Structure 1
Amino acid sequence: CVNRTPRHIYAQVISADGGKVLAQASTLDATLRAGTTGNVEAATKVGALIAERAKAAGVTKVAFDRSGFKYHGRIKALADAARENGLEF
């Protein structure tokens, strides 16, 4: 599940039944907050981080829910980075 605002971008890996968040990453994380948070570069970093955390939780295959946002810009950058770092959509 992905959500974005003008300043931040958020990503979560949720269990199949929707009852538990298995991994999450956002530009609000301390490791990412130091740089700019509302651009494609930040979304790429969030994508890499969510992939890393999902793999640590034992998840490699996910369904990508863009929450109604166009698959363009920051959403696309996040998805591409997550794929490059090992998540399968």
Structure 2
Amino acid sequence: MDIRGRTKQRHRLRTRRHARIRKKIRGTAERPRLVVFRSLRNVEGQLVDDDLGVTLLGVSTRSGTEGDAGERSGKTAEAYLAGKKLAETAVGAEVDEIVFDRGGYPYHGRVRAFAEGARDGGLRF
């Protein structure tokens, strides 16, 4: 199997994991779903109300992140700061409790840093 075949297979397996997760969790207006997407360079997060099918707000590491990420460095620090920024925006919009959707990715590295940033920013999940 060449490199493209492995990449497609990895994407296919992640999509299946995400579908399994989505069967179990659902975001509402009171408790929206925090969806995480991780690419090679960036991490994106969105708060989604599944009842209405709308995205309430979204943040990406592309939108510029500044601040103190503690002992984290590199892309992990950027993910932490993006999660914190999303949480501060959500708390400003009177959303303080969410359902976390890791998007089929393992809960470590940048996905975990994003979640920790959201928690430190004031979201509960």
Aligned residues: 84
**d(CA) in 2 for partners of 1:14, 1:57:** 13
Counterpart in 2 of 1:42? Answer: 78
* C-alpha contact 1:2 1:66 (8 A) present in aligned 2: yes
The equivalent of 2:70 in structure 1 is none
Q: Which runs of 5+ in 1 are unaligned?
A: none
Q: Deviations over 1:44-86 (max 9, x none)?
A: 1111011011112221110000000000000000101110110
Which is greater in Rg? 2
Q: TM-score, normalised by structure 1?
A: 0.86
Map 1:18-33 to 2 at 5 A. Answer: 19-29=53-63, 31-32=64-65
Q: Does 1:15 align with 2:66?
A: no
CA RMSD of aligned residues (A): 1.6
Moved more, 77-86 or 13-22: 13-22
Over the matched positions of the two proteins, sequence identity in percent amounts to 38
- TM-score normalised to the size of structure 2? 0.62
How far 1:18 moved relative to its partner?
5.1
Where is the helix percentage greater, Structure 1 or Structure 2? 2
Matched, 1:77 2:117: no
